[in-house]
């Protein structure tokens, strides 16, 4: 199984540039785990990398939902696990980068016991994804 690289830190600390450099060197694709970058049209104040800043490296979990759409941490974990599996399926290295713990993303939107358990697992679920 290909490893996943986890790269966390505060907003605007250089994670995106480092993630692109790692992806280019390791043959990877980037999965954003920033709670604001999932939303379309929320580019200002989110440090969402521009197309040019993405350096030709595929990015996942950016601009995937409208700001008016309900999106829970549990749904995010499911989407992230599917993206990791897809990246690995292409023989590429998943590079998980962002400024927020997955468990903090939209926890107020958790709607079931199963979703709550997934949300609490947060980043641990991503780290253990196989």
Q: Confidence class of residue 1 from pLDDT cuts 50, 70 and 90?
A: low
Which domains does the chain possess?
A: 5-128 (3.40.50.300)
- What is the average pLDDT score of the chain? 77
Three-state DSSP class for residue 39: strand
pTM: 0.74
Residue 110 has pLDDT above 80, yes or no: no
Q: 100 near 33, Cβ under 8 Å?
A: yes
How far apart are the C-alpha atoms of 128 and 130, rounded to whole Å?
6
Chain center to CA of 125: 12
């Amino acid at each position: 199984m290909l490893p996943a690289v986890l790269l966390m830190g505060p907003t605007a600390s250089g994670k995106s540039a480092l993630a692109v450099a790692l992806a280019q060197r390791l043959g990877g694709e980037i999965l954003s785990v920033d709670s604001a970058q999932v939303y379309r049209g929320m580019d200002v104040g989110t440090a969402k990398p521009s197309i040019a800043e993405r350096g030709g490296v595929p990015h996942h979990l950016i601009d995937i939902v409208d700001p008016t759409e309900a999106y829970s941490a549990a749904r995010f974990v499911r989407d992230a696990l599917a993206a990791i599996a897809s990246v690995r399926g292409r023989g590429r290295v998943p590079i998980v980068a962002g400024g927020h713990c997955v468990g903090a993303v939209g926890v107020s939107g958790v709607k079931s016991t199963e979703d709550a358990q997934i949300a609490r697992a947060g980043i641990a679920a991503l780290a253990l994804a196989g």
